[in-house]
Amino acid sequence: MSNIILPFKNDLGIKVDLNLDDIIQGIYKTIPETTCKNCGTCCKNGCPHIRMCEFAVLFNNFIKDIDPEIKKEVVQRCVENFLSNDVVKPCPLLNKDNGCIVYKYRPSNCKTYGMIDKKEFKKRVKNAKKEFKEEFELLGLKKQCQDVRKDGKIFYLTTEDTDKLMKKLAHLDVAFGAPSVEGLVSYRTFHDWVMLKIFGEEKLCSFTEFKLKATKEAKDSLIKEIIKKLTV
């Protein structure tokens, strides 16, 4: 699969073609490099929401670089996540060694986890509590990991830094053709994006209705049918 090229106009009004991969990586360079214990706790406890432009680069490199059998396993986990009513859904890109199979292209929410401003993180937890209500206690990421380090020390981004990052990605989504940025239509989990990519919005709606009513046996049967017919 070739690189994703976006048409832009420079300051002189001249049309130029820019590589989306390069643009995204340029934005990511504003996020400090960190290390962690590679325990996989955050990846097992949630699948972060990502922008359309981030997903496009992530999926493009996923298709290009990953072994076909592993790709099929990941897609199966995406289908399972989508059809699951569980609050906690592990990231489909986590391997058996607690590592990310596309670590180089992991999205901004993964890169900034552990560095989010304390007040901002408290606000996010408060919003999650409102959204999930009685199911909130089932969530595993109510505190930031203290093992994420920059140069061996705990480090926090400012709210201003995070806002600038989000605005850059939102603007890039507009250029990429996202149907809505303010309405966050372009902000989904990886497994939701994969399902949208494979089946389209209309089919996704029917799957949503199905998962709310179907038994576990019916879901398992559908998953087997989808994977059987799937060509990655």
Contact status, residue 146 vs residue 154, Cβ threshold 8 Å: yes
pLDDT at 1: 46
Maximum Cα interatomic distance, the chain, rounded to a whole number of Å? 60
pLDDT at 51: 92
* Of 3, 38, 42, residue with least CA distance to 20: 3
Residue range 165-174, pLDDT digits in tens: 999 998 888 8
Mean pLDDT per 10-residue interval, the chain, length 232 residues = 60 64 92 92 90 92 89 93 91 92 93 94 90 83 91 95 92 79 73 93 92 92 87 64
* Number of residues written out for the chain: 232
Helix (H, G, I), strand (E, B) or coil at 8: strand
* Of 195, 228, 205, 215, residue with least CA distance to 92: 195
